[in-house]
């Protein structure tokens, strides 16, 4: 079980490591295409085509139309949030730089995750706020300040 956990953590870290690369690529695409929102649109269009081809080739997944039709509308907010995120990052990263941008993103993600865990929002298991989590968040915010200053 420990090796599976380690592999999942490694995959997660690698996935996180590619986000600054994606942001840099999208920032360049924004300059080439005429703006951050256009670049975000192109990025999502390419991603959608890639996923459609994957689904067609693998045929491992089938749409659960009944589930999709009966899902509450707020479950579709992920696409809006993703589009907002990609457009904002594409716009901001040339000004703030990669390190500060992602330090702020990680700090925001951690703070939101701590609150989501504490209250069990979105169906997550409850993980109450602890002194260790607060200290970790404070240290991360201190890191953001140091990255900004130096």
- The sign of the CA dihedral 135, 137, 138, 144 is positive
Q: CB–CB of 98/22 below 8 Å? A: no
From 149, 150, 145, select the one nearest 107 (Cα to Cα).
145
d(CA 8, CA 85): 24
Banded model confidence at residue 6, pLDDT cuts 50, 70, 90:
very high
Tens digits of residue pLDDT in 95-147? 999 999 999 999 999 999 999 999 999 999 999 999 999 999 999 899 989 99
- In this prediction, residue 51 carries a pLDDT of 95
Res 104: pLDDT? 92
What confidence tier does 63 reach under pLDDT thresholds 50, 70, 90? Answer: confident
Structure tokens at 31: 């300059």
Report d(CA 147, CA 150) in Å as an integer: 5
Cα distances from 142 to residues 54, 94, 98, 135, in angstroms, run: 42, 23, 17, 10
What pTM did the predictor assign? 0.83
| 90 in Cβ contact with 29 (< 8 Å) | yes
d(CA 97, CA 107): 16
Check whether 61 has a pLDDT greater than 90: no
């Amino acid at each position: 079980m420990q090796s599976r956990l380690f592999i999942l953590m490694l995959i997660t870290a690698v996935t996180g490591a590619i986000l600054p690369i994606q942001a840099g690529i999208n920032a360049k695409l924004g300059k080439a295409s005429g703006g951050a929102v256009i670049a975000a649109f192109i990025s999502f269009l390419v991603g959608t085509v890639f996923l459609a081809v994957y689904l067609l080739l693998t045929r491992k997944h089938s749409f659960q139309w009944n589930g999709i039709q009966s899902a509450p509308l707020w479950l579709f907010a992920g696409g809006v949030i993703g589009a907002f995120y990609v457009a904002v990052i594409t716009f901001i990263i040339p000004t703030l730089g990669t390190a500060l941008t992602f330090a702020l993103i990680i700090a925001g993600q951690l703070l939101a995750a701590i609150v989501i865990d504490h209250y069990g929002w979105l169906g997550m298991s409850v993980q109450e706020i602890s002194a260790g989590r607060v200290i970790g968040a404070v240290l991360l915010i201190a890191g953001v300040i140091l990255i900004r200053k130096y």
